[in-house]
Chain A
C-alpha cells in the first residue's frame, strides 16, 4: 500500500513537470527542416556593399527616409519653406556683395539671380545630404546596436530628405528662370542625369565620412567647415569661366563638384558648349570615390556595433 501512494505522488510530480515544458508542434518543424541552414562567421577581406540585400531592405530605407522627412519639419513654424529661404537669401547677399565690389561672376547675359540659383539649389542638395549622411550612423546608433539591417540604409535614406527640399527649391528656380525669360535649350534633357550625379557625389563622400565618423567623431566637427570651404572653391555663386583663369581651370576642376555644378547649370541654361572636360573629370573622380566608399563602408561596417 505504501508503494501505491508513492507512485501516485511520482505521477503527480511528472504531470506538473511536463506542463512546464512546452512541446513543439510537429507541423511547423517539418516545414522548417527543409530549409537550408545559413551560416554566419567573421567576414574577411574587402567586399562591395551587398546590393541585393539592400534591395530586400528597400521598405526599411523608405521608412527611415519617411521618418526623417516627417521629423525634420515637425514643430517648426514655416516648415519646409526653410528649403527656399536659404538659397534665396544667399543669392541676395552675394548679389549685393558682387554689385558693391563690381565683380563679374557670370560670363554671358544671363542674370545673376538665375545663374546663382542654378548653383545654389544643387549645392544645397549636395551640402545637405552630405551633412545628414555623415552623421546618420552616429545619430542612429541606438538602431545599430540593437537590430540588424544593412548599415548603408542609413546614409542612403538621407538622400530622400535632401530631395524633398530640393524639389521645392527647384520649383523656385524654375519660376525665377521663367520670370527672367530664359528659355532652356535641348540640353535640359541632361538635367535628370545631373541631379543623379549630385546625389552620387554626395553619396560618394557620405559613405567615407559616415563610416569615419562612426569610429572617429572628429569628422562631424570638420564637416561644417569643409562644406563652407567647398562653397567657395566650387562654382556655386559664380561661373568657372568668369572667375578662374583658363590655365588654372584643370586644377580647379579636380574638385568633383565643379563638373557637377557646371553641368547642372549648362543643362538648365544651355549656354555655350557643355563643360565636357570638367564633367568627365568629375564623373570619373566620383565613380572612383563611390567604388572605394562602398568597399570601405563594408569593411568598417563590421566594427560599427562594437565601436560606435
Chain B
C-alpha cells in the first residue's frame, strides 16, 4: 500500500459550457439573484417540478472533462498519459497540480509535487535572465537557497550565460524556452508532472529535454508525463494511461497501450486505402504539377490499409502536370507516431524510367517485391521535385497503413515490432556443421 506515490480515486471534473453564461458579468449575476428572489414564492407553490426542469436545463450546458477516473502510480514509476486532444489529459494534470479542484473524487499525493505545465511560468519580459531564474524557480516551488545553490548549473544548462543581465524581452524565443527548461530541469520534487514540454524548441533542445527527463526518471522520482510524441513516451514510461473522452480506456504497460491507441486512432481518422488529394491540406510546392489521388495496393492489387511484412505491395498516384519543367518523383515512408523517415523510393532507381517534362494526366505506379518494414504504423510523403530539387508538389501524411506479420513469410513466434529495429529484409539463413 505504502509504495503508492499518486492515487487518483473516481476523479470527475465538470465544466459549464453553452450559451447561457458565456461570460460572467456582475450585472447578469445580479439579474439572476433578482430572478430567483422573485420566483421564490412561485417555487414554493409549485414545488420541485420547476426545480427538476431547471436541473435538466443545467445538464445540457455541462461538459464532463473527466469522468470517474481512477489509477495508482507507484513510487519511482514513470507513467505516460496519452490520448487524443480533448480527452481530459490537461484537466487531469491541472487537478493533480492543484490548480483546479475536482468536481468529485479525490487525489492522494505522497511527497512534494512539482508541476511543469508550461516552460517559464512567471517569466516577466522586463526582468533580466538572472531575475527570471529566481522568479520562475520560486513559482515552481523552489526556495531561494535551492535556486542559489543550483544557479551555476541552471545557467550552464541553459547556455545563455552571456545574456544573464539582459531583460528577457530581448531574448529569442528559443533562448527563453531554454532558460525556462533549465530551471525546470533542476527542480527536485518527489513527484514531477510534465505536460508536453518536449513540443517546443528545436531538435537538439528536444534531445536535451529527453535526456534530462531520463535522468530524472532514473533517479527514482515519480513522473507523470503527457505527450503526443509516442517515441518519447515509449522511451521514458514504464506504464501508460490512455484517456479518451474523460475516461480511462487503458492502463497497462506502455507498449501494449501505445499499440492499441495507435491502431485505434489510425483506423478511424486518416487511414484510407485510396485518397483524393486535390484538397489535401499538408502540402507545399509551386503547383506546376499536382498529385490528385493516391492508392496503396496489396499483393492482390486491391486497395488496402494493411500490408504484410516482406510481402509485395504497390503504391500508385495520379499526376496532373502542366509540363513546364522536368520533374523528379519520389515517395518517402515515415512512421505514423513520430514522423521518422524510414525509406525512400525514387524513380531513378528503375533503369529507363525517365518522366522528363510531363504534360497532362499520368498514373505513377511503384511496385515493391517485399515490404522491408517491421510491424507498426506508417504513412507516405509523395513528392514531385524539379531537377534543382525545388518542390513542385509535396503531399505529406497520406495513405496511413499498418504492417502485420505474415505467417507464410516467417514463423517468428513474436511480433516483429520496431523495438527490434525498423527494417526487415528477405535473407537466406543457412546452417552447416563444422564437424568432419
Q: Find chain B residues with CB under 8 A from A145 CB.
A: 94, 99
104-151 of chain B: CB within 8 A of chain A: 104-111, 115, 117-118, 121-122, 124, 126-127, 131, 134-135, 138-140, 143-144
Q: How large is the interface on A (under 10, 10 to 19, 20 to 34, 35 or more residues)?
A: 35 or more
Complex partner residue of A38 from B100, B110, B118, B139, CB under 8 angstroms: B110
The secondary-structure label for the interface of chain A is helix
The segment out of B75-83, B279-287, B401-409 that lies at the interface is B75-83
Say yes or no: is A109 at the interface (Cβ < 8 Å to chain B): no
403-436 of chain B: CB within 8 A of chain A: 412-414, 419-420, 431
- The answer to whether A12 and B98 touch across the interface, beta carbons within 8 angstroms, is no
CA of A26 to CA of B431 in the docked complex: distance in angstroms? 46
Say yes or no: is B26 at the interface (Cβ < 8 Å to chain A): yes
Complex partner residue of B27 from A60, A75, A218, CB under 8 angstroms: A218
Q: Find chain B residues with CB under 8 A from A79 CB.
A: none
Say yes or no: is A50 at the interface (Cβ < 8 Å to chain B): no
- The answer to whether B431 and A27 touch across the interface, beta carbons within 8 angstroms, is no
- The answer to whether A22 and B126 touch across the interface, beta carbons within 8 angstroms, is no
- The answer to whether B75 and A33 touch across the interface, beta carbons within 8 angstroms, is yes
Could you tell me how many residues of chain B have their Cβ less than 8 Å away from some Cβ of chain A?
69
Say yes or no: is B159 at the interface (Cβ < 8 Å to chain A): no
Q: Find chain B residues with CB under 8 A from A20 CB.
A: 234-235, 254, 419
Complex partner residue of B109 from A12, A37, A305, CB under 8 angstroms: A37
A153-191 Cβ-contact flags toward B at 8 Å (1 or 0): 000000000000000000000000000000000000000
- The answer to whether B107 and A143 touch across the interface, beta carbons within 8 angstroms, is no
Task: Tell me which of A9, A22, A59 has the highest count of chain B C-beta atoms within 10 A of its own C-beta.
Answer: A22
Q: Find chain A residues with CB under 8 A from B412 CB.
A: 9
- The answer to whether B121 and A142 touch across the interface, beta carbons within 8 angstroms, is yes
Once A40-B109, A216-B29 are accepted as A-B contacts, the answer to whether A22 and B97 lie under 8 Å apart by CB is no
The segment out of A66-74, A236-244, A251-259 that lies at the interface is A66-74
Q: Which residues of A contact B (CB under 8 A)?
A: 1, 6, 9-10, 12-13, 16-17, 20-29, 32-43, 59-60, 63, 67, 70-71, 74-75, 142-149, 212, 215-219, 302, 305-307
Q: Which residues of B contact A (CB under 8 A)?
A: 2-5, 7, 15, 23-27, 29, 74-78, 94, 97-111, 115, 117-118, 121-122, 124, 126-127, 131, 134-135, 138-140, 143-144, 167, 190, 214, 217-221, 234-236, 238, 254-255, 412-414, 419-420, 431
